């Protein structure tokens, strides 16, 4: 029997886990234990605080449903999802378009729309155009690339947040033409509060953070053999563009509609022009951070 003290307990745990046959699991768990123990020593974690943390994580788990992933939201507000995305982008041999968070409002079953159609079900007030090309890293067009888009309406609300989520609006799947071009019409999305009615929202409130995401349009862009791109375009004039609660904004993804764009494939409405560059996919690669929660629940 060994008498463990505040530091030797860490070595004792690492020793017991050292025989883990799966190399990656061994590496990840050893590092996790080292950092967790260092953290507890650093803040001199008390038994009450430890219990409070267990209670919080229990609430986070209990808030999860097939349509809501509170653990992903926790990862988002801690900047962990953004960090994982940033590291994943760096693993690309050459730089493709920067990624951003998938978020909880992606749907697999969005309608297929023809190029030029609008994703807004209702006759919109301030319509604008989004257009561009999907290419490889050298600018070569990727014909028939798929471009899935989703966003809030002009009031900052996703279709999934209305009623029981039975309406379908402000989303669509487009197929690029033979030159890798896409264009669609939409209305201006509005910035919105992340889901604040659960334990993560309570945490955000207790930290006096505003809880807003700046206005954005989500994109999931893919072509066979290329790395699937999860990203978003952010609107420059949003008041929270510098302080996104989930750290998804990067300069390269900030855009504004232009009133007069001679290149735009439709005239008479403002246009955002953005070209997406996809890298080659590595074998067994999955690049999405924040997958569809219903899939996570179904998978286990």
Residue nearest to Fe ion (CB): 103
Q: How far does CA 65 lie from the centroid of its chain?
A: 18
- The minimum distance between CB 222 and ligand BEZ, in angstroms, equals 19
State in angstroms the smallest separation of the CB of 245 from ligand BEZ: 8
What are the distances in angstroms from CA 213 to CA 33, 194, 196, 294, 296?
A: 33, 7, 12, 23, 24
In eight-state DSSP terms, residue 253 is: G
- Please report how close the Cβ of residue 188 comes to Fe ion at its closest, in angstroms: 14
Q: Which of residues 67-96 bind ligand BEZ (CB under 6 A)?
A: 73, 76
Kindly state whether residue 189 participates in binding ligand BEZ, applying the rule CB under 6 A.
Answer: no
Phi, psi of 297 (to 5 degrees): -65, -45
Displacement of CA 97 from its chain's centroid (Å):
14
Terminal-to-terminal C-alpha distance of the chain: 39
Cβ atoms of 172 and 121 within 8 Å: the answer is no
Q: How do 229-235 and 254-255 pair as beta strands? A: parallel
Task: Provide, rounded to whole angstroms, the least separation between the CB of residue 73 and ligand BEZ.
Answer: 6
Measured from the CB atom, is 119 or 142 closer to Fe ion? 119
| Interaction partner, residue 76 (ligand BEZ, Fe ion, none; CB < 5-8 Å by kind) | ligand BEZ
In the set 37, 89, 96, 105, which binds ligand BEZ (CB under 6 A)?
105
- Which residue has the closest beta carbon to ligand BEZ? 103
**Where does this chain touch ligand BEZ (CB under 6 A) — which range of 25-33, 99-107, 112-120, 258-266?**
99-107
Residue whose tokens read 């179904």: 298
Q: Is 103 in the site for Fe ion (CB under 5 A)?
A: yes
Using CB under 6 A as the binding rule, whether residue 171 contacts ligand BEZ is answered as no
Tell whether residue 101 is a contact of ligand BEZ (CB under 6 A): yes
Choose among 226, 238, 229, 196: nearest CA to 99.
229
Q: Is 199 in the site for Fe ion (CB under 5 A)?
A: no
Q: Is 234 helix (H, G, I), strand (E, B) or coil?
A: strand
User: Binding residues for Fe ion, per CB under 5 A?
Assistant: 103
User: Binding residues for ligand BEZ, per CB under 6 A?
Assistant: 73, 76, 101, 103-105, 194, 213, 246
């Amino acid at each position: 029997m060994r008498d463990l003290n505040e530091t030797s307990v860490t070595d004792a745990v690492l020793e017991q886990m050292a025989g883990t046959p799966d190399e990656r699991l061994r590496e990840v768990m050893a590092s996790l234990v080292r950092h967790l123990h260092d953290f507890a020593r650093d803040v001199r974690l008390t038994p009450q605080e430890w219990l409070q943390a267990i209670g919080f994580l229990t609430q986070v788990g209990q808030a999860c449903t097939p349509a809501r992933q509170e653990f992903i939201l926790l990862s988002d507000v801690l900047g962990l999802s953004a960090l994982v995305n940033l590291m994943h982008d760096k693993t690309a041999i050459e730089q493709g378009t920067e990624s951003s968070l998938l978020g909880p409002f992606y749907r697999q079953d969005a309608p297929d729309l023809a190029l030029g159609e609008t994703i807004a079900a209702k006759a919109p007030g301030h319509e604008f155009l989004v257009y561009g090309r999907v290419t490889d890293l050298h600018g070569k067009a990727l014909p028939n690339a798929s471009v899935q888009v989703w966003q809030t309406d002009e009031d900052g609300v996703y279709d999934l947040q209305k009623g029981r989520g039975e309406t379908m609006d402000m989303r669509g799947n487009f197929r690029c033409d033979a030159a890798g071009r896409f264009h669609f019409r939409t209305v201006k999305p509005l910035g919105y509060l992340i889901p604040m009615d659960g334990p993560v929202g309570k945490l955000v409130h207790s930290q006096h953070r505003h809880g807003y995401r700046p206005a954005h349009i989500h994109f999931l862009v893919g072509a066979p053999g290329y790395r699937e791109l999860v990203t978003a375009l952010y609107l420059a004039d949003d008041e929270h563009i510098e302080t996104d609660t989930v750290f998804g904004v990067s300069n390269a993804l900030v855009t504004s509609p232009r009133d007069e764009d001679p290149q735009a494939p439709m005239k008479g409405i403002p246009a955002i022009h953005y070209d997406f560059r996809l890298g080659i996919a590595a074998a067994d690669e999955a690049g999405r951070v924040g997958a569809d929660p219903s899939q996570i629940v179904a998978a286990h």
